[in-house]
Chains A and B, each alone.
Chain A
Amino acid sequence: QVQLVESGGDLVKPGGSLKLSCAASGFTFRDYYMSWIRQAPGKGLEWISYISSTGSTKYYSDSVKGRFTISRDNAENSLYLQLKSLRAEDTAVYYCARVGQSGSSHFDNWGQGTLVIVSS
């Protein structure tokens, strides 16, 4: 079955950096687009980044553009999110999600999330 397992969340100081990972299994990773979505404590969901199956196309929300970088390693079945210049408002649970196929870009599978806390 499809499994997505995030890791790398931690407590980090404002201005700091962190790299999140998402290990994928149970499907042909290289065939799928992937995304990162986050959820601040007690808040709604916020899509933050997308990457195409080959990694050639990437999109970011305005809130993270220029600070976060999405990447993937299809040989390792892994998705990454590099976070830099972190702010208190980046505190959230970060989910990786698989983008559905059949011409519809919904998120059909999600990981369990990894918590990033930005605080001094």
Chain B
Amino acid sequence: DIQMTQSPSTLSASVGDRVTISCRASQSINNWLAWYQQRPGKAPKLLIYKASTLESGVPSRFSGSGSGTEFTLTISSLQPEDFATYHCQHYHGYPWTFGQGTRVEIK
């Protein structure tokens, strides 16, 4: 199985900060990677797919990059509603797996 490792596990930041979250795959997944945002008590919401394609309706301050085994989610200017947990997920063969999540908290 392909393992997905996110870093950091928790990130403290302030409104307006530029935030970067990393996701590493244990083997190449090409660009078959998605990022989701999950607010407490809510279902995950798709942000990015195919590593860098922004889902319709998602603010442009979110961006994704990478291919192969190294991927990054960037929030260019953190907004109050962005404090949440972020999950990466690969879909390059079964089983599809998620990273353990990165919690973005208020500094």
Interface size grouping (class) on chain B: 20 to 34
B55 touches A108 (CB 8 A): yes
Contacts of A113 in B (CB 8 A): 43
Partner of B89, one of A45, A61, A111, A112: A45
A46 touches B98 (CB 8 A): yes
A44 touches B89 (CB 8 A): no
A108 touches B46 (CB 8 A): yes
Bitwise, A94-111 to B at CB < 8 A (1) or not (0) is 010000100011111111
B43 touches A110 (CB 8 A): yes
Overall SS of chain B's interface: loop
B49 touches A106 (CB 8 A): yes
| Contacts from B to A (Cβ < 8 Å) | 32, 34, 36, 42-46, 49-50, 53, 55, 87, 89, 91, 94-101
CB distance from A27 to the nearest CB of B (A): 14
Distance, CA A35 to CA B46, complexed state (A): 14
Interface size grouping (class) on chain A: 20 to 34
| Contacts from A to B (Cβ < 8 Å) | 35, 44-47, 50, 59, 61-62, 95, 100, 104-113
B43 touches A47 (CB 8 A): no
Partner of B44, one of A46, A59, A62, A110: A110
